Structure 1
Amino acid sequence: MEPLIKAEGLTLRYGKKVAIDELSFAIPKGRVVGLLGHNGAGKTTLMKALVGLKPAEGQLSVLGMNPSKQRVALLERLSYIPDVAILPRWARVEELITLMSGLHPRFSAERARTLLKRTSVGLRDKVKALSKGMVVQVHLALIASIDAQVMILDEPTLGLDVLSRKAFYEMLIDEWCDGERSVLISTHQVEEIETLLSDVMMLNEGKLVLSISLEEMDRRFVALSHDPAQAEAIAAAHPLLRYRVQGGSAALFDGPLPEAVQGLGQRVRPSLVDLFVALTRAPEMNRTQG
């Protein structure tokens, strides 16, 4: 089945600077993909290319369309929330629903009102009277009421407290993800969204260093918790990363544990954060995997 998003050799430059470098990946339907990377890694640039805001070299297909050449048609079937949720401060929530009804042919006012019932926001409330968390929830309710197939979220919960972030992601997963649509989420709150994800893509200095399902990640990567006294022997096996854990130390390996260290500790599941640190900590770690 044709993926919803497919890129081959995707490259985008700002003058002489390469922002994203030869990216190749595919996102099928029904996936929730986390896009991870340090500031400046190329996450926002990639998302702008996906929605047609930045033309790029290479091959890119989103819902079977070229984003830069068919942007109007694409945006009827794709939803995008940038890293700053901005709504007109003078407007009432009900007025925003009316506005969206006139602007977007696939927007459902009835669904927007239903989604807003999950929040503490009233239809008569003005945007200027809402907290930042409420504004983000209104924004999501409006975007999720578009009958789209792909949603792209660039740091959607930036600056929100933990309860607001939790409410946002609960609404997203409960009300929008249905096994047919796919979501691409860029975020720095890796620990909070790991349980929501089906796949992860990691960018480092514009390069794709990992593109993998979490199921495959669990099979491929392994960590060994060990006593500090074994540190020298563990280091000799050249792990991807050595780090501290509660009560001792741990080492992260790509692939089966080397025979030399198998009896030196206890095998544990590496977290997504540990893997992210291992693969994006330095330029020499850059390599395409997956």
Structure 2
Amino acid sequence: MTSVIEVDNLTKRYRETLALDDVSFTIEQNTICGLLGRNGAGKTTAMSILTAQNFATSGDVRVFGQSPYENAAVLSRLCFVRESQKYPEDALPLHAFRTARLFFPNWDQAFADQLMDEFQLPLKTRIKKLSRGQLSAVGVIIGLAARAEVTFFDEPYLGLDAVARQIFYDRLLEDYTEHPRTVILSSHLIDEVSNLIERVLVLDHGRVVMNEDTDAVRDRAATIVGDAAAVDAFTVGREVIHRESLGHVASVTVIGRLTDADRTQLAAAGLDVAPVSLQQLIVRISQNAAAAEASAPDEGALR
């Protein structure tokens, strides 16, 4: 498939803070990619650089094979819905939609009208008086109805209740099926979006700690539960990313697909196997990466 986003050795430093640390990845055309990670992991910084709203300290980014900076031919094909999106306070939501309609060549007004109705957006209320959820709905509607070739959603659900979030997920998936494009979705509600995303890209402390197809990730880990001695014996030589124990019972999460022979061995040892959700896996991998970084020797101290 064709890569529409290419990031090579991207680094971004804010004085003493290293927001992105030599990051490299590609995102293919017509893919819904989950850009996941904790607060401060570098997600918004990466999206801002890709949409030419921020500058890299070093490295290279390409969108449609070109640099996005001061490049109208590229930027007109992108839509970036930010968590902190700003609109003129005295404007009405309709003003924001009319402006978007002028900017995005693939804008679908009928779809926008449908979404306004479904989100129950008060169109005669000025933007400065909208609730957090209603303001998020404005951004979601623009991001969906724009049908840009590449759309970035940065925590688009803030303030939306469970019903409104499900409307967003349903309409995103339905419209993506009919009108394929590339969607980069940043979210902390990982389990909610796990059935949407086809690619998982996880940042932690400005570094890529996971970049895989979602289907490949689902069976990547398992949690083994039972007698602590038996659990420890089974996990010898395996990559353990989390361990909990209570008395003689242990629960250990290991990386690696379990074979039929593994499952036979587990059954014979009286051990239970529990699946690991995408959210659990990302949390454990991020915790493990943070622990490894904290325990690593200080390079400056070694010099």
TM-score by length of 2: 0.80
Aligned to 1:24: 24
Q: Which amino acid aligns with 1:182?
A: T
Judge conservation of contact 1:98–1:109 (CA < 8 Å) in 2.
no
Aligned to 2:290: 283
Aligned to 1:153: 153
- Which entry has the higher C-alpha Rg, 1 or 2? 2
Can you list the C-alpha shifts for 1:158-196, whole angstroms capped at 9, x where unaligned? Answer: 243333322322232223454731211112112221122
Q: CA–CA distance in 2 between the matches of 1:48 and 1:23? A: 14
1:6 to partner: Cα distance:
1.5
Judge conservation of contact 1:200–1:214 (CA < 8 Å) in 2.
yes
Aligned to 2:251: 250
Q: Which amino acid aligns with 2:131?
A: S
1:46 to partner: Cα distance:
0.9
Q: Which amino acid aligns with 1:268?
A: A
Aligned to 1:39: 39
Q: CA–CA distance in 2 between the matches of 1:108 and 1:257? A: 47
1:48 to partner: Cα distance:
0.9
Judge conservation of contact 1:85–1:156 (CA < 8 Å) in 2.
no
Judge conservation of contact 2:143–2:153 (CA < 8 Å) in 1.
no
Q: Which amino acid aligns with 2:9?
A: G
Judge conservation of contact 1:234–1:251 (CA < 8 Å) in 2.
no
Can you list the C-alpha shifts for 1:245-287, whole angstroms capped at 9, x where unaligned? Answer: xxx753222224598894242333211122112211143546x
RMSD: 3.0
Q: CA–CA distance in 2 between the matches of 1:42 and 1:174? A: 29
Q: CA–CA distance in 1 between the matches of 2:28 and 2:194? A: 19
Identify if the C-alpha distance between structure 1 residues 206 and 147 changes in structure 2 by more than 3 Å, giving closer, same or farther.
same
Aligned to 1:64: 65
Segments of 5+ residues of structure 1 without an aligned counterpart are none
- SS of 1:240's equivalent in the other structure is strand
Deviates more, 1:188-197 or 1:258-267: 258-267
Can you list the C-alpha shifts for 1:52-91, whole angstroms capped at 9, x where unaligned? Answer: 1222222321122212242x33221111111124444433
Q: Which amino acid aligns with 1:252?
A: T
More helix by share: 2
Correspondence 1:6 to 2:6: yes
Deviates more, 1:42-51 or 1:267-276: 267-276
Q: CA–CA distance in 2 between the matches of 1:16 and 1:122? A: 44
Segments of 5+ residues of structure 2 without an aligned counterpart are 294-303
Aligned to 2:189: 189
Judge conservation of contact 2:223–2:252 (CA < 8 Å) in 1.
yes
- Work out the percentage of aligned pairs sharing the same amino acid: 28
Aligned to 1:94: 94
Aligned to 1:272: 278
Q: Which amino acid aligns with 1:194?
A: S
Deviates more, 1:173-182 or 1:51-60: 173-182
Identify if the C-alpha distance between structure 1 residues 61 and 83 changes in structure 2 by more than 3 Å, giving closer, same or farther.
same
TM-score by length of 1: 0.83
Q: CA–CA distance in 2 between the matches of 1:139 and 1:260? A: 48
Q: CA–CA distance in 2 between the matches of 1:255 and 1:192? A: 24
Identify if the C-alpha distance between structure 1 residues 103 and 255 changes in structure 2 by more than 3 Å, giving closer, same or farther.
closer
Q: CA–CA distance in 2 between the matches of 1:195 and 1:33? A: 11
Judge conservation of contact 2:194–2:278 (CA < 8 Å) in 1.
yes
Can you list the C-alpha shifts for 1:213-254, whole angstroms capped at 9, x where unaligned? Answer: 11111343333243556454356555222258xxx7532222
- SS of 1:278's equivalent in the other structure is helix
Identify if the C-alpha distance between structure 1 residues 76 and 9 changes in structure 2 by more than 3 Å, giving closer, same or farther.
same
- SS of 2:30's equivalent in the other structure is coil
Judge conservation of contact 2:219–2:257 (CA < 8 Å) in 1.
no
Correspondence 1:127 to 2:127: yes
Give the aligned length: 283
